Amino acid sequence: MLNLLLAVRQRSESLVAPLEPEDLCLQGMADASPPKWHLAHTTWFFDTFLLQPYLKGYEGCDPRWNYQFNSYYEAAGARHPRPSRGVLTRPTIREIFAWRQRVDAALTQLLTSPDADQEDIQQLAELGLHHEQQHQELLLMDLLDGFSRQPLEPAYKTGADHHLGPLEPTQARWISCDGGLYEIGHAGAGFHFDNEGPSHRIWLEAFALMDHLVCNDDFRCFIADGGYQRPELWMSEGWSVQQQLGWQAPRYWRGDGPADQWQEEFTLGGRRRLNPQAPVRHLSWFEADAYARWCGARLPSEAEWEVALQQHQPLIHDAHGKLWQWTASPYRPYPGFLPAPGAVGEYNGKFMSSQFVLRGSSWLTPEGHGRDTYRNFFAPANRWMAAGLRLAR
Amino acid sequence: MLNLLLAVRQRSESLVAPLEPEDLCLQGMADASPPKWHLAHTTWFFDTFLLQPYLKGYEGCDPRWNYQFNSYYEAAGARHPRPSRGVLTRPTIREIFAWRQRVDAALTQLLTSPDADQEDIQQLAELGLHHEQQHQELLLMDLLDGFSRQPLEPAYKTGADHHLGPLEPTQARWISCDGGLYEIGHAGAGFHFDNEGPSHRIWLEAFALMDHLVCNDDFRCFIADGGYQRPELWMSEGWSVQQQLGWQAPRYWRGDGPADQWQEEFTLGGRRRLNPQAPVRHLSWFEADAYARWCGARLPSEAEWEVALQQHQPLIHDAHGKLWQWTASPYRPYPGFLPAPGAVGEYNGKFMSSQFVLRGSSWLTPEGHGRDTYRNFFAPANRWMAAGLRLAR
Amino acid sequence: MLNLLLAVRQRSESLVAPLEPEDLCLQGMADASPPKWHLAHTTWFFDTFLLQPYLKGYEGCDPRWNYQFNSYYEAAGARHPRPSRGVLTRPTIREIFAWRQRVDAALTQLLTSPDADQEDIQQLAELGLHHEQQHQELLLMDLLDGFSRQPLEPAYKTGADHHLGPLEPTQARWISCDGGLYEIGHAGAGFHFDNEGPSHRIWLEAFALMDHLVCNDDFRCFIADGGYQRPELWMSEGWSVQQQLGWQAPRYWRGDGPADQWQEEFTLGGRRRLNPQAPVRHLSWFEADAYARWCGARLPSEAEWEVALQQHQPLIHDAHGKLWQWTASPYRPYPGFLPAPGAVGEYNGKFMSSQFVLRGSSWLTPEGHGRDTYRNFFAPANRWMAAGLRLAR
Amino acid sequence: MLNLLLAVRQRSESLVAPLEPEDLCLQGMADASPPKWHLAHTTWFFDTFLLQPYLKGYEGCDPRWNYQFNSYYEAAGARHPRPSRGVLTRPTIREIFAWRQRVDAALTQLLTSPDADQEDIQQLAELGLHHEQQHQELLLMDLLDGFSRQPLEPAYKTGADHHLGPLEPTQARWISCDGGLYEIGHAGAGFHFDNEGPSHRIWLEAFALMDHLVCNDDFRCFIADGGYQRPELWMSEGWSVQQQLGWQAPRYWRGDGPADQWQEEFTLGGRRRLNPQAPVRHLSWFEADAYARWCGARLPSEAEWEVALQQHQPLIHDAHGKLWQWTASPYRPYPGFLPAPGAVGEYNGKFMSSQFVLRGSSWLTPEGHGRDTYRNFFAPANRWMAAGLRLAR
Ligand SMILES: [Fe+3]
Ligand SMILES: [Fe+3]
Ligand SMILES: [Fe+3]
Ligand SMILES: [Fe+3]
> Which of D36, D80, D151 has its CB closest to that of A22?
D36
pLDDT at position D306 is 98
* Cα angle A204, A209, A211; round to 5: 150
What is the average per-residue pLDDT within B60-82? 96
DSSP string of D138-198, one letter each residue: HHHHHHHHHHHTSTT---SSTTTT--SS-SS-----EEEE--EEEEES--SSS---GGG-S
In this prediction, residue A162 has a pLDDT band, given cuts at 50, 70 and 90, of: low
Note whether B352 contacts A200, CB cutoff 8 Å.
Answer: no
For residue C258, is pLDDT > 70?
Answer: no
Distance from CA of D281 to the nearest CA of C (A): 21
In this prediction, residue C291 has a pLDDT band, given cuts at 50, 70 and 90, of: very high
pLDDT at position D169 is 80
φ/ψ of residue C70, rounded to 5? -70, 130
Q: Would you say B246 and B234 are in contact if contact means Cβ atoms under 8 Å apart?
A: no
pLDDT at position C191 is 96
- State which of C81-95, C153-167, C255-269 shows the largest mean pLDDT: C81-95
- What Cα–Cα distance (Å) separates residue B111 from each residue in B40, B54, B126? 21, 10, 11
What is the average per-residue pLDDT within A281-291? 98
For residue D300, is pLDDT > 70?
Answer: yes
Subunits in contact with chain A (3 or more CB pairs closer than 8 Å): B, D
In this prediction, residue C163 has a pLDDT band, given cuts at 50, 70 and 90, of: low
pLDDT at position C166 is 80
pLDDT at position A158 is 81
DSSP string of C210-244, one letter each residue: ESS--BHHHHHHHHHTTGGG-GGGS-HHHHHHHHH
Interval D69-114: pLDDT, tens: 999 999 999 999 999 999 999 999 999 999 999 999 999 999 999 9
pLDDT at position A229 is 97
* Ligand 2 center–CA B41 separation, angstroms: 7
**Which of the residues A350, A355, A377, A393 would you substitute to probe the B interface, choosing the one with the greatest number of B C-beta atoms within 10 Å?**
A350
> A and C: touch, per 3+ CB pairs < 8 A?
no
For residue B55, is pLDDT > 60?
Answer: yes
* SS3 state at A169: coil
Distance CA B84, CA B385 (A): 20
DSSP C70: -
Q: Which residues of B287-314 are buried (b: 16+ CB within 10 A; e: fewer)?
A: bbbbbbbbbebbbbbbbbbbbbbeeeee
* SS3 state at C176: strand
Distance CA B301, CA B357 (A): 9
Beta bridge partners of residue A254, listed in sequence order: A264
pLDDT at position A257 is 59
For residue B260, is pLDDT > 70?
Answer: no
Beta bridge partners of residue B322, listed in sequence order: B362
In this prediction, residue C162 has a pLDDT band, given cuts at 50, 70 and 90, of: low
In order of their start, the domains of chain C are 1-149 (1.20.120), 174-389 (3.90.1580.10)
Note whether B235 contacts A353, CB cutoff 8 Å.
Answer: yes
For residue C43, is pLDDT > 70?
Answer: yes
* SS3 state at D267: strand
CA Rg value for chain C: 21
Q: Which candidate, A392, A388, A285, A284, places its Cα nearest to that of A330?
A: A285
Q: Report which residue type is found at B241.
A: V
pLDDT at position B119 is 95
Interval B296-344: pLDDT, tens: 999 999 999 999 999 999 999 999 999 999 999 999 999 999 998 888 9
In this prediction, residue B193 has a pLDDT band, given cuts at 50, 70 and 90, of: very high
Window C:276-295, CB contacts with D under 8 Å: 285-286, 289
Interval A321-370: pLDDT, tens: 999 999 999 999 999 999 988 889 999 999 999 999 999 999 999 999 99
Kind of pairing between the strands at C324-330 and D387-388:
unpaired
Distance CA A240, CA A246 (A): 10
pLDDT at position D1 is 86
pLDDT at position A1 is 86
For residue A227, is pLDDT > 60?
Answer: yes
Distance CA B217, CA B170 (A): 12
CA Rg value for chain A: 21
pLDDT at position B15 is 97
- What Cα–Cα distance (Å) separates residue D34 from each residue in D30, D93, D100, D146? 10, 12, 17, 9
A71 touching D (Cβ < 8 Å): no
In this prediction, residue D258 has a pLDDT band, given cuts at 50, 70 and 90, of: low
Nearest CA in chain B to C148: B87
What is the average per-residue pLDDT within D169-179? 93
pLDDT at position C167 is 74
In this prediction, residue A255 has a pLDDT band, given cuts at 50, 70 and 90, of: confident
For residue A259, is pLDDT > 60?
Answer: no
Beta bridge partners of residue D358, listed in sequence order: D326, D376
Window B:172-211, CB contacts with A under 8 Å: 181, 200-203, 205
Q: Higher model confidence: residue A99 or residue C172?
A: A99
Interval C342-377: pLDDT, tens: 889 999 999 999 999 999 999 999 999 999 999 999
pLDDT at position B162 is 62
Q: Can you give A177-200 as a three-state secondary structure string?
A: ECCEEEEECCCCCCCCCHHHCCCE
For residue B156, is pLDDT > 80?
Answer: yes
Kind of pairing between the strands at C264-267 and C270-273:
antiparallel
pLDDT at position C168 is 80
Q: Would you say C161 and C267 are in contact if contact means Cβ atoms under 8 Å apart?
A: yes
pLDDT at position D260 is 62
In this prediction, residue A163 has a pLDDT band, given cuts at 50, 70 and 90, of: low
**ipTM of the shown complex:** 0.97
Q: What is the mean pLDDT of chain A?
A: 96
pLDDT at position C159 is 74
- What Cα–Cα distance (Å) separates residue A78 from each residue in A81, A87, C388? 9, 17, 54
CA D160 to chain centre: 17
C380 touching D (Cβ < 8 Å): yes
For residue C164, is pLDDT > 90?
Answer: no
Q: What is the mean pLDDT of chain C?
A: 96
pLDDT at position C260 is 61
pLDDT at position B258 is 61
For residue B166, is pLDDT > 90?
Answer: no
Interval A81-99: pLDDT, tens: 999 999 999 999 999 999 9
Q: What is the mean pLDDT of chain D?
A: 96
Chain A residues closer than 8 Å to B335 by CB: 205
> A and B: touch, per 3+ CB pairs < 8 A?
yes
C354 touching D (Cβ < 8 Å): yes
pLDDT at position D272 is 92
Burial-class residue D117 by CB neighbours within 10 Å (0-12, 13-18, 19+). Answer: exposed
φ/ψ of residue B158, rounded to 5? -55, 140
> Which of A67, A88, A149 has its CB closest to that of D84?
A149
pLDDT at position B229 is 97
> Which of C74, C352, C353 has its CB closest to that of D231?
C74
- What Cα–Cα distance (Å) separates residue C342 from each residue in C49, C61, C79, D233? 10, 20, 17, 12
What is the average per-residue pLDDT within C152-170? 82
- What Cα–Cα distance (Å) separates residue C236 from each residue in A72, B334, C239, C286, D72? 41, 55, 5, 9, 9
Note whether C152 contacts B91, CB cutoff 8 Å.
Answer: yes
What is the average per-residue pLDDT within D130-155? 98
Q: Would you say A125 and A111 are in contact if contact means Cβ atoms under 8 Å apart?
A: yes
Q: Report which residue type is found at B23.
A: D
DSSP string of D99-149, one letter each residue: HHHHHHHHHHHHHTSGGGG-HHHHHHHHHHHHHHHHHHHHHHHHHHHHHHT
**Which of the residues A16, A22, A67, A88 would you substitute to probe the D interface, choosing the one with the greatest number of D C-beta atoms within 10 Å?**
A22
Kind of pairing between the strands at B200-204 and B180-184:
antiparallel
Q: Which residues 6+ apart lie within 8 Å of A127 measured at CB?
A: A49, A191, A344, A347
pLDDT at position B158 is 81
- What Cα–Cα distance (Å) separates residue C366 from each residue in A49, B65, C129, C361? 73, 36, 11, 9
CA Rg value for chain B: 21
